[in-house]
Structure 1
Amino acid sequence: MKKFLAVLLAALMICVSFVACSSEKKSDDTNTDTDTQETLTMVTNAEFPPYEYKEGDKVVGIDADVAQAIADKLGMKLEIVDTKFDAIIPGVQSGKYDMGMAGMTVTPEREQSVAFSDSYATGIQSIIVKQGSDIKSVDDLSEKTKIGVQLGTTGDIYAKDDFGDEAVQEFDKGADAVQALLAGKIDCVIIDNEPAKSFVASNEGLEILNTSYAEEEYAICFKKDNTELQTKVNGALKELIADGTLQEIVNKYIKAE
């Protein structure tokens, strides 16, 4: 009888040990799934409010929120990297980053280097001048006008095409161009409308001309051969547009006037 009880007790201990091990393994497997979640790396230039800017060390804005919504749709973990604007395309082109979002316009020149998603927003290039400036419209710009732009932006590209390299002064940041305008070193700044409104609101003595310089569509850039990610992101964008999420994100940062 004692022998039978000993055998029974041993069997019970083995059973308990097996259940515990199974439970522990299941927990480990769950943690592994979380830890190995694929990362989606988005590169930007956080000098372009309200599309991307910093609150402390965190990059926030329309593009950051849209990228997060895309990552959620794809079941991926989002990582945002901040760099200079003119380093975005080379970084994506080399495969260092998965995609670039920075209020970026599709142009023939850029299409030679990277592929683009469907458009997710419309941008307007505006002109900032000092109040009382002789520049009243786009027609007042010429090869003799000192035009400030952010390096590598479409404002930079368009201004050089229209007025020549000598008329254009490039700055790493739009804010630096605005400070040069305030100091009288340049006559105007060509930059996207939403950042322009932020700069004018925070600097007295500036205004935006009523006439826009150009209108354009914003899109996400990818390495040319990364068609799988491009297709997945386009699918996610379609869903975000259809369910109203994208418009909610825009409304969060751009209030109706």
Structure 2
Amino acid sequence: MFNKRMMVMMAALLVLLLGLAGCGQKAADKPAAKVLKVGAETTFPPFEFQDEQSKEYVGFDMDLARAVGKQMGYEVQIQSMGFDGLIPALEGGNIDLIVSGMSITPERAEKVSFSKPYYKSGLSIIVKADNQTIKGFKELEGKKIAVQIGTTGAEEAKKIKGATVREFNSNAESYMELKAGGVDAVVNDLPVNQYYMAKSGDKSAKLLSEISNAEDYGMAIAKKNGELTEKVNKALEELKKNGEYDKIYEKWFGKKPQA
């Protein structure tokens, strides 16, 4: 009886061990998820910003980056950092992709590879509502201008004759400086200024109608990573074909993109 009982117990133990081994084998066979590390300066609504309640990074760029990653079969991880630190982080291999309202410029193209353009923008001006002297970029000569550090808005503002340019880490700081009277104007990308005016309800400021330097946004990839550049371009093309790009655009800008 004792031997029979021992045999039954040993048989049960063997079945259990085989089952565990099978589970372990299945877990080992399952490939690890491919991760795409995306860098962004996350104080740039409506392109990228942190939701106050969920604390997630949201916006047009964030939705598009996740859609591109999904199309490519990657899990997207967003890494927030200063705008002027994005390209160094890409060059150093700390991130794989920059999706952060980055304009395609010859200077940047010397350091990184850009995807095909995914958004067309331009520079605009916000001034105090009672300001009757500044009507466009010409009148910014000799004035105090707030910009976000590292942006094309900052670069263009520095070209304005006699202007004093004050650089801030975020757009929010630029707008606060205007409200406080520390500067005469804020120069930033049109959709960013539009979003601020729409969401803040700030009656003390106004957006001027003149637009300067129409420019394209692109996703930036390390020059050595040509394969990823091809994958990103293909994913963007597929998202535009299947309508997903249009859905994301309309969600954040309230209208479909121009053809």
What TM-score bracket applies, with the shorter chain setting the length? 0.7 to 0.9
SS in 2 for 1:95: coil
Q: Which amino acid aligns with 2:144?
A: K
d(CA) in 1 for partners of 2:92, 2:13: 55
- The residue identity in structure 2 corresponding to 1:200 is M
Offset, 1:22: 6.4
Q: What is the match of residue 184 of structure 1? A: 181
Q: Which residue of structure 1 aligns with residue 47 of structure 2?
A: 51
Shift of 1:252: 0.9
Q: TM-score if structure 1 supplies the norm length?
A: 0.87
Structure 2 CA distance for partners of 1:94 and 1:244, relative to 1, 3 Å = same
Shift of 1:138: 2.4
Q: Distance in 2 between matches of 1:83 and 1:148?
A: 20
Asked if 2 retains the 8 angstrom alpha-carbon contact of 1:118 and 1:219, the reply is yes
Aligned length: 247
TM-score (norm 2): 0.86
Give the alignment's Cα RMSD to 1 decimal.
2.5
Shift of 1:18: 8.4
CA deviation after TM superposition for structure 1 residue 19, in Å: 6.6
Q: 3-state DSSP class of the match of 1:119?
A: coil
Q: Which runs of 5+ in 1 are unaligned?
A: none
- Equivalent in the alignment of 1:42: 38
Q: Which moved more, 1:57-66 or 1:192-201?
A: 192-201
The residue that corresponds to 1:20 in the other structure is 19
Deviations 1:200-255 (A, max 9, x none): 23122111101112211010111111111111111111101111111111111111
Partner of 1:242: 241
Write out per-residue CA displacement over residues 168-207 of structure 1, whole angstroms, 9 at most, x where no aligned residue: 1111111111111111111111101122123223122111
Identify the residue that residue 138 of structure 1 maps to in structure 2. 137
Shift of 1:120: 0.8
1:95 corresponding residue in structure 2 = 93
5 Å-filtered alignment, 1:1-257, equals 20=19, 23-29=22-28, 32-33=30-31, 36-56=32-52, 57-133=55-131, 134-142=133-141, 144-161=142-159, 163=160, 167-201=164-198, 202=200, 203-256=202-255
C-alpha contact (below 8 Å) 1:104/1:220 kept by paired residues: yes
CA distance in 2, matches of 1:140, 1:200: 21
* C-alpha separation in 2, matches of 1:179 and 1:76: 38
Higher helix share: 1
Report how far residue 96 of structure 1 moved.
Answer: 1.2
Cα pair distance change 1:79/1:164, threshold 3 Å = farther
Matches of 1:180 and 1:131 in 2, distance apart?
15
Contact 1:127 1:213 in 2 (8 A): no
Amino acid at match of 1:72: K
Structure 2 CA distance for aligned equivalents of residues 147 and 213 of structure 1: 15
What is the DSSP-based 3-state SS (H/G/I as helix, E as strand, rest coil) of the residue aligned with 2:43?
A: coil
- Output the amino acid matched with 2:49: Y
Is 2:148–2:169's contact at 8 Å kept on the other side of the alignment?
yes
Task: Could you tell me which runs of 5 or more consecutive residues in structure 2 were left unpaired when the two chains were aligned.
Answer: none
Rounded to whole Å, the distance in 2 between the matches of 1:131 and 1:18 is 76
Cα deviation for residue 160 of structure 1 reads 1.4
- Quote the Cα distance in structure 1 between the aligned partners of 2:74 and 2:232: 12
List structure 1 runs of 4+ shifted beyond 6 angstroms: 12-15
Superposition deviation, residue 159 in structure 1: 1.5
